[in-house]
Amino acid sequence: MNSSHDSKAITPETKMVDLIRNNLNLLFVLNQFSIPLGFGEKTIQEICEKNGVETQSFITLIQFHGNPGNPDIPKLNSLSANIILKYLKKSHSYFLGYRLPDIRKQFAAALDEGSSRKTILSYFEDYEKEVNDHMGYENKVFFPYIEKLLSGQEQKDYSVKQYEARHNNIEEKLDDLINLIIKYLPTSGNTMRLTDILEDLRLCNRDLNLHTLLEDKILVPKIKQLEKKNPHEEPKASNETEELSEREKDIVRSVAKGLSNKEIADEHFISIHTVITHRRNISRKLSIHSSAGLTVYAILNNLVDIEELRQ
């Protein structure tokens, strides 16, 4: 049952079982706080105290997920950066370690052998890699930077501006996959299982969108304010070229072959917006802005064979 529960009416005295039973989408929030099921008749406050969770922060995030179309930004801003950071890190483990691999396994089981199966699995595996690159960067670079900033350590070699420069939309490709399956559902395979996967994709996309909103609209402004309170030198340009991801190398190969943004999008099953984002990131990393320059880079770095380009 997913009947509407007035999010404003949620209090520490609300019974957890009533809350979750009325909106099973809220199970996502429980996972991020590592709160197990089996609530009995305990209240939200009792369950939170038992699991070492700050009650009001839990309620704020429950209300956020319970009413995604109308987020209460002022209330979300009341969350501490530490709480948001912990929540996002847990979400990363959930998406990368469980949710996306599980959907991939469902696709593999639902689709019969053939070109449709190979195409859809390849598309989803590419998406998984993109999310891994996206969240992996945050785990290894952005989140440790925030932790050091919050602990009062002076940071001179990084800023939130660098994070924003490479931050792209990881939900858009999932939208495209949902549309592709609805329009061009394979004629062979377990149709009932495929329709169940669509529901899983929809929920995953919903949760990823909320995850991104929490990062971009709540956490990033908090970190900008913290940087203002603790001013530091702007990062100096590095002499070392930042390494391209595998997806970015694929885009460079396509540019070197003379493909347009639309042709690149079609070749890699991504949107034109995503292609443009990748090309912007590539230009930033390599300081190369023209297609001709990228072609030379591709040849010199053995991403393409010059004989292949002559064909």
238 within some domain = no
Pick the last residue of a domain from 18, 36, 71: 71
3-state helix, strand, coil in the chain (%, to 5): 70, 0, 30
Q: Which residue has the higher pLDDT, 165 or 235?
A: 165
pLDDT value at position 76? 94
Number of domains the chain is built from: 3
**pLDDT tens track for 43-94:** 999 999 999 999 999 999 999 999 888 889 999 999 999 999 999 999 999 9
2 against 140, higher pLDDT: 140
Residues 90 and 224 occupy one common structural domain? yes
Residue 153: the pLDDT is 83
Contact (Cβ atoms closer than 8 angstroms) between residue 160 and residue 223: yes
Name the residue type at position 299. Answer: I
Q: Are residues 113 and 47 in the same domain?
A: no
Residues ≥6 apart with Cβ < 8 Å to 125: 104
pLDDT mean over 30-39: 94
Q: How far apart are CA 59 and CA 63, in angstroms?
A: 6
Give the three-state DSSP class for 189: strand
Asked whether the predicted pLDDT for residue 213 surpasses 80, the reply is yes
Q: Band the pLDDT of 188: cuts 50, 70, 90.
A: low
At which of 203, 229, 255 does a domain end?
Answer: 229
Max mean pLDDT range (111-125, 245-259, 281-295):
245-259
CA torsion angle for 25, 28, 30, 32 (degrees, to 10)? -160
- Cβ density class 161-186: b for 16+ within 10 Å, e for less: ebbeebbbebbbbbebbbeebeeeeb
Give yes or no for residue 163 having a pLDDT over 60.
yes
As a whole number of angstroms, the distance between CA 274 and CA 252 comes to 14
Say yes or no: 126 and 205 in one domain: yes
Are 121 and 191 contained in the same domain?
A: yes
What percent of the chain shows pLDDT beyond 90?
43
When mean pLDDT is compared across 37-46, 61-70, 108-117, the lowest value belongs to 108-117
Residue 219 lies in a domain: yes
User: Whole domain around residue 280: which residue ranges?
Assistant: 246-310
**153 and 288 together in one domain:** no
CB 269 within 8 A of CB 176: yes
Which of 54, 71, 88 finishes a domain? 71
| Count of CB atoms situated within 10 Å of the CB of 134 | 19
The average confidence (pLDDT) of the chain is 85
Domain assignment present for 60:
yes
pLDDT digits (tens, 9 = 90+) for 235-255: 444 444 578 888 899 999 999
Query: Which carries the bigger pLDDT value, residue 187 or residue 216?
Result: 216
For 49, the token pair is 């105290």
